[in-house]
């Protein structure tokens, strides 16, 4: 990425991040509105400037890799949230009791110190360090932190984060100031009461959320591996401050593993580069007969091991960087216990010779999906290994290859990742059929409406649906395939049509059903396997029933 391209890349991303960080109308936004109405536009704007400085500070902490701060916040998130909420309660009580008649003046007469406004806005925002989690999410969403981005690019990006925040606070203070003429002393008194109550509600919700988080904390925290944290079992030397580099100068494949603790559904993401490609001369490794052997394009891969099985995804570049007649091709293949079970080829979308790329391997329901891309993930190859119960994951480096890993994370699949996985699975006819053919779960499969008895005054059919039911943890997700009659343009294969959640009574499930408009149907709905391949659905509050029949027994 050259200088101009990188600057333009960071400009709009920085602007978007700055606006999104500031846009939620939280306590500092309410404070800015209140200050604008009481003391004028400039006071409200400079309060926002202080908040922008605080946001920039946390962005810099995140951007320059001070991971220990993130770890401290994550470890003490609930305690920090309770303390911050108490501070908000105190401020809310103060605002509730304040008398605007003592402070409300014409904007020209409200001569407050801009330095004090900035400081108050900064401290008010700085007291909520949990915003760093929003920043981490935004940096990931906009691919803001990339190895190929240089210092001038980052300076531009952070400058535009600050500019984006200033733009937002200028807009807020401008429009609030325009409507100030509609407010008198009594309305300002009422606004102070309302805003004070709103801030106290924010605080109380924060306290309740933090206490609930303490009571139901999930111990399966993501594992982050990067130069500032170290790479754990991947790097026996324990070195920090540098990327993980695995060089294989032997004649045997070299593997490094990280324990999985028997996690059934996981996502392993990382950025990596094969330095043998970057050097343009390939790699060398020792020969069994002595001397060395040159390899033009040595491969590397990701491996998953467990209960005596080994699944390997291999990545190898097939062409040289100097070959300008044809696009560079990449072969991605999968093998289980040494036997090939799938392969695909990719042309374009990866920076094979000059930069790192993003890779992700995820597992759900016995299926493994390998995705990659330069700045985002595109599913590339999916294979099934239902007999493999994973207990470790790692990298494998073939003779002559040198793999450089800048960062990695290992986590349980999020709800969105599961939804995306199920949607992609069900939208692909071949992949869906293969998945169901391998499944031993009686509920999983394709289903059609067999018959129905609807009370037309209560409920009407939306179509002759063909559906897929896929396991989602201990419950099931119902996915639309075809057959919509009402609002057919809204429904696409792979969209979620409902859920089946275990009720605790054998084969009886609580069902959530999404109607043709996209809203969850109100009322109690029960579903039960009445016979092999037959699912009875009762819409209790609508006096209607429906039966689904499995069509791929």
Domain-terminating residue out of 389, 413, 437: 413
CA atoms of 522 and 220, how far apart (whole Å): 34
**Residues facing residue 257 across a β-bridge:** 394
CA 201 to chain centroid, in Å, comes to 28
Q: Does 422 share its domain with 296? A: no
Structure token pair of residue 423 = 């949607």
Q: Does 405 share its domain with 426? A: no
pLDDT at residue number 84: 61
Q: Does 467 share its domain with 381? A: no
Q: Does 533 share its domain with 511? A: yes
Q: Does 127 share its domain with 190? A: yes
* Gyration radius from the chain CA atoms: 29
Domain-terminating residue out of 413, 442, 469: 413
Residues of the chain with pLDDT under 50: 67, 101, 103-110, 217-219
Domain membership of residue 502 as a residue range: 417-550
pLDDT at residue number 110: 46
Q: Does 368 share its domain with 467? A: no
Q: Does 149 share its domain with 11? A: yes
Structure token pair of residue 62 = 């995140």
Q: Does 53 share its domain with 196? A: yes
pLDDT at residue number 218: 47
Within a 10 A sphere around the Cβ of 292, how many other Cβ atoms?
Answer: 13
CA atoms of 19 and 405, how far apart (whole Å): 32
Domain-terminating residue out of 215, 249, 269: 215
Eight-state DSSP code of residue 221: P
Q: Does 89 share its domain with 106? A: yes
Closest residue by Cα to residue 311 from 338, 336, 332: 336
pTM over 0.95: no
Sign of CA dihedral 381, 387, 392, 398: negative
Q: Does 204 share its domain with 264? A: no
pLDDT at residue number 447: 94
Eight-state DSSP code of residue 230: B
pLDDT at residue number 479: 94
CA atoms of 53 and 18, how far apart (whole Å): 11
Summarize pLDDT for 169-179 with one digit per residue, the tens: 898 888 888 87
pLDDT at residue number 106: 46
CATH of the domain at 469: 2.40.128
Residue the block writes with tokens 């102070």: 192
Q: Does 376 share its domain with 434? A: no
Q: Does 408 share its domain with 438? A: no
Provide the number of structural domains found in the chain: 3
Within a 10 A sphere around the Cβ of 34, how many other Cβ atoms?
Answer: 24
């Amino acid at each position: 990425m050259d200088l101009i391209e990188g600057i333009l890349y960071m400009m709009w991303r920085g602007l978007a991040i700055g606006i999104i960080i500031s846009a939620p109308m939280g306590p500092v936004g309410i404070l800015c509105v209140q200050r604008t109405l009481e003391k004028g536009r400039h006071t409200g704007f400079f309060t926002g400037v202080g908040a922008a400085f605080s946001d920039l500070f946390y962005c810099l902490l995140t951007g320059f890799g001070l991971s220990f701060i993130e770890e401290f916040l994550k470890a003490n998130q609930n305690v920090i949230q309770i303390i911050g909420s108490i501070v908000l309660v105190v401020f809310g009580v103060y605002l509730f009791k304040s008398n605007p008649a003592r402070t409300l003046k014409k904007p020209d007469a409200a001569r407050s110190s801009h330095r004090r406004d900035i400081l108050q806005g900064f401290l008010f925002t700085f007291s909520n360090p949990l915003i760093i989690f929003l920043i981490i999410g935004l940096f990931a969403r906009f691919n803001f932190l990339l190895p190929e981005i240089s210092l001038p690019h980052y300076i531009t990006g952070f400058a535009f984060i600050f500019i984006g925040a200033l733009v937002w606070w200028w807009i807020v203070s401008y429009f609030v100031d325009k409507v100030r003429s509609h407010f008198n002393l009594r309305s300002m008194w009422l606004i102070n009461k309302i805003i004070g109550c709103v801030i106290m509600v924010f605080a109380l919700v924060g306290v309740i959320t933090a206490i609930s988080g303490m009571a139901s904390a999930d111990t399966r925290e993501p594992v982050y591996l990067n130069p500032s944290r170290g790479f754990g079992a991947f790097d026996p030397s324990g070195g920090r401050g540098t990327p993980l580099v695995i060089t294989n100068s032997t004649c045997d494949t070299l593997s490094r593993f990280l324990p999985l603790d028997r996690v059934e559904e996981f996502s392993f993401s990382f950025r990596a580069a094969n330095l043998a490609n970057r050097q343009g001369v390939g790699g060398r490794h020792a020969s069994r007969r002595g001397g060395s052997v040159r390899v033009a394009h040595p491969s590397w891969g990701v491996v998953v091991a467990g209960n005596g099985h080994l699944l390997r995804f291999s990545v190898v570049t097939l062409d040289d960087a100097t070959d300008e007649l044809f696009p560079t091709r990449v072969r991605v293949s999968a093998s289980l216990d040494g036997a090939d079970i799938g392969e695909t080829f990719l042309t374009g979308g990866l920076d094979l010779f000059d930069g790192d790329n993003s890779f992700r391997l995820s597992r759900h329901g016995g299926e493994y999906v390998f995705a990659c891309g330069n700045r985002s993930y595109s599913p590339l190859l999916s294979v099934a290994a239902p007999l493999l119960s994973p207990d470790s994951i790692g990298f494998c480096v073939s003779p002559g290859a040198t793999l450089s890993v800048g960062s990695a994370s290992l986590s349980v699949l999020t709800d969105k990742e599961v939804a995306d996985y199920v949607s992609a699975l069900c939208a692909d006819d071949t992949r869906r059929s293969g998945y169901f053919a391998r499944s031993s779960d009686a509920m999983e499969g394709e289903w059609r409406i067999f018959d129905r008895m609807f009370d037309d005054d209560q409920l009407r059919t939306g179509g002759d649906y063909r559906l897929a039911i896929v396991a989602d943890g201990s419950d099931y997700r119902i996915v639309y395939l075809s057959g919509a009659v009402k609002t057919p343009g809204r429904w696409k294969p792979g969209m979620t049509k409902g859920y089946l959640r275990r009720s605790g009574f054998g084969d009886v499930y609580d069902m959530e059903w999404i109607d043709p408009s996209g809203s969850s149907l109100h009322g109690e709905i029960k579903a039960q396997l009445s016979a092999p391949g037959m699912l009875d659905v009762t819409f209790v509050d609508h006096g209607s029933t429906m039966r689904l029949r499995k069509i791929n027994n």
